Amino acid sequence: MLIQIENLLTPDQVARFQAVLAGAPWADGKVTAGYQSALAKNNLQLPETSEAARSLGAEVERALASNLLFQSAALPARVFPPLFNRYDGAHSFGVHVDNALRTLPDRTRLRTDLSATLFLTDPEDYDGGELVIEDVYGAHAVKLAAGSMILYPATSLHQVTPVTRGARTASFFWIQSHVRDDAARSMLFDMDMALQRLRGEVGDGHASLVALTGVYHNLLRRWAEA
């Protein structure tokens, strides 16, 4: 399931992020890659401990908490603190799969059910740099407006194609969902979207809507991990 979330950040937020990142202390991106990923990774990354990464990451997390589409699609239990990367000068990230587990700052482990990329540079400002995600339907090239985000299963093979002009900055992170299974999570998301449309058509108190909402929560109860 690939979910595009438009305008997670406002234009004012995007402008502020871009100003901060323009003067950020970028470092080699291999620092957070696993062994296999490090072989394919060639980019720059903002150190996790930098003030810029902490403050911008906290702002991304606040935006996620208030975004209903993200909440419905991800059913997030925990979110890895957002990281920030930069691609320029033919930087790229070859085909890889994200690590299954990530260590949080408190030394606990997060299971990476979902991956997310929040674009922070407008597409017309750079060439290349597409996020290419592979699923059963083929390869999908993603290049979104600054402030918009793509959410996809962390089990997916994916890559970032070489940037041949300009620079591409983004935030990336992982989500442990309350529902581990992608197929179950997709069904719940589809059902939630249908319920929201039905609510607009028949009103909150309609008997069928009440019954179907009960089915949604009973399925969530069956599949969710606390």
DSSP 160-204: EPPEEEEEEEEEEEEEEESS--HHHHHHHHHHHHHHHHHHHHH-T
* pLDDT confidence of residue 115: 98
d(C-alpha 161, C-alpha 103), whole Å: 27
pLDDT in tens, 184-208: 999 999 999 999 999 999 988 899 9
CATH fold for the domain made of 182-223: DNA Excision Repair, Uvrb; Chain A (4.10.860)
Residues 6 or more apart in contact with residue 222 via CB below 8 angstroms: none
111 secondary structure, DSSP code: E
Would the CA dihedral through 68, 72, 75, 80 be positive or negative?
A: negative
- Looking at the chain, which residues constitute the CATH 4.10.860 domain(s)? 182-223
**Three-class secondary structure of residue 52 per DSSP:** helix
Q: Which residues pair with 173 in a beta bridge?
A: 116
Q: Which residues pair with 116 in a beta bridge?
A: 151, 173
Kindly report the number of other CB atoms within 10 A of residue 208's CB atom. Answer: 9
Which pairs from 208-213 meet CB under 8 Å and 24+ separation? none
Tokens of 185: 């999570």
* pLDDT confidence of residue 178: 98
* Average pLDDT score over the chain: 94
Architecture of domain 3-177: Sandwich (2.60)
205 or 54, greater pLDDT: 54
33 or 117, greater pLDDT: 117
- Looking at the chain, which residues constitute the CATH 2.60.120.620 domain(s)? 3-177
